[in-house]
Amino acid sequence: MKKILFNLATLMFLTHYSNAQTFNGKLGYAISPEGFPAIFDSLPTFLTEVSNTCNNGVLLINGAWRDGLSTSGNIPTLQKTLLPLHPVPYNFVDLSVYGWATYPTLYLDNPTNPTNNWANPLTRDAFLQMLIRTADSLSPTYMMIGNEVNFYWEQDSVDYSNWASFYSMAYDSIKAHSPTTKVGTVYNYEHLSGQGVLNGWNTPYWSALSSMDTSKMDVISITLYPYFNYTTANAIPLTYLDGLFNRIGNIPVVFSETGWPADNFGFPWTSSTTQQVDYINKLFPMLTGRNVEAVNWLFLNYYMANNNFAFKSVSMRDSLGNDYPALPFWLSHCSTTSVNESINESEQVQIFPNPVVNKFTLQIKNLQGKHYSLEILDLFGREVQQIEIVSHTTEITIKSLQSGVYLYRLKNDFQNINTGKLIIQ
């Protein structure tokens, strides 16, 4: 009976990975170097890791549209600092968000006009000039005007029409100055769809989407946190996102933020590293066959400030810098790699045979005197075997591992360069 159950679990896992291969988007994170938000000394290391994630990972650059009231109209320091850093020396894909509210607080006043909404003509002019200057000088890959704007529909549905008209005008201006930039805005899915009952959000606000001119959306960005609606990841139905996809047709989607917390701070949902793995195993099947360009886990490293408890452990590492078990599962969904391909074409990797009986061969085509190691992990992300790699071809004997599905993770100078699954018979 145990063997039957195990084989069923294996079949489900293999089916999941088969579905995962249909995901063709990129993976990424918001700005989250080790020690943030107090320490940014390791920002270069972080940007390197993002750049190496799936061969050009996505960097979410989410900040206010201005540094302060007096600098309205200027490019924000955050974007002005980070956008010029790619493609050299860091080859990440930029996803810039220009927020104008921390609801219910708005940042729409002007030094000479205190009207704090979208009817303020001076604010509209300053915001537009900032966007044009950014498009002209920095040519971002993605420009998201506003963050989780559906909350403003609930706050002021009348002024929301002024926001919608501004967005339409801003879209035309950005495209005129940087035609390749993809322009959109950001919605929170749980609030938008009324599926955030654990957070008090049980009224849908689809009008925040339908009142916009979606023909002027190159992409729709979504923040996605299903733990606001379900206590466990396995409770999420595979139809959870149908409300969105049924409304937008084939407009591309970027999930600018998602994830599941690892630490329990007393919220009604279940938080654990196991839940993170379960969520990843549920998320990508929901995206199968959808036009999704990128999915960002919220943080790579742990949020170290003593606030923001609902999000601080939505990270891929704990507060000591140790990888959570979810990380190799997350990286296994890289669209630029498969089981027998490397993330970097200059370091082609092959593992054969796979499935494995007693031993397998690892080949690295361009072994250039670097430090390599291969880790084998069980389905909970626990390391069960580690092998140092010193030659182009290495024969590896399996050490007393039970039959089943495992993950392998190949590292080069302590950076992940290849992740995939290993089947042991």
With b for 16 or more beta-carbon neighbours within 10 A and e for fewer, the 308-325 pattern comes to ebbbbbbbbbebeeeebb
How large a percentage of the chain has pLDDT more than 90? 70
Question: Mind listing the pLDDT tens digit for each residue in 28-67?
Answer: 999 999 999 999 999 999 999 999 998 899 999 999 999 9
The Cα 181–Cα 376 span in angstroms is: 40
Helices (H), strands (E): how many in the chain?
A: 11, 18
Question: Mind listing the pLDDT tens digit for each residue in 298-308?
Answer: 999 999 998 89
Q: Strand pairing of 101-102 and 182-184?
A: unpaired
Long-range residue pairs from 346-354, CB within 8 A, at least 24 positions apart, any chain: 347/412, 347/417, 347/418, 349/410, 349/417, 349/418, 351/408, 351/420, 351/422, 354/422, 354/423
Q: What is the DSSP string of 203-227?
A: S--THHHHTS-GGG-S-EEEEE-GG
Question: Mind listing the pLDDT tens digit for each residue in 162-213?
Answer: 999 999 999 999 999 999 999 999 999 999 999 999 999 999 999 999 999 9
**Which residues, including other chains, have CB under 8 Å from residue 178's CB and lie 6 or more apart?**
135, 136, 139, 140
**Average pLDDT of the segment spanning 317-339:** 83
Query: Degrees (nearest 5) of the Cα angle 97, 415, 299?
Result: 30
Question: Mind listing the pLDDT tens digit for each residue in 352-377?
Answer: 888 888 888 888 876 666 678 888 88
pLDDT above 50 for 3: no
* Of the candidate ranges 63-72, 89-98, 339-348, 379-388, the one whose mean pLDDT is the lowest: 339-348
Question: Mind listing the pLDDT tens digit for each residue in 329-351?
Answer: 999 898 643 333 333 444 577 88
The Cα 59–Cα 29 span in angstroms is: 6
Consecutive H or E run containing 27: strand 26-30
**Average pLDDT of the segment spanning 99-106:** 98
pLDDT above 50 for 7: no
How many other C-beta atoms lie within 10 A of the C-beta of residue 413? 9
| Average pLDDT, rounded, for the chain | 88
Contact status, residue 217 vs residue 224, Cβ threshold 8 Å: no
What's the pLDDT score for residue 300?
A: 98
What's the pLDDT score for residue 417?
A: 65
Indicate the pTM of the whole model.
0.79
**Average pLDDT of the segment spanning 261-289:** 96
Helix 157-177 and helix 121-138: axis angle, to 10°? Answer: 30
**Average pLDDT of the segment spanning 9-37:** 70
- Would you mind telling me the total number of residues written for the chain in this entry? 425
Taken in order of first residue, the domains within the chain and their CATH numbers are 11-331 (3.20.20.80), 345-424 (2.60.40.1930)
- Higher per-residue confidence, 102 vs 2: 102
**Average pLDDT of the segment spanning 99-115:** 97
Q: Give the tokens for residue 346.
A: 């200059």
Bond into 355 cis (ω within 30): yes
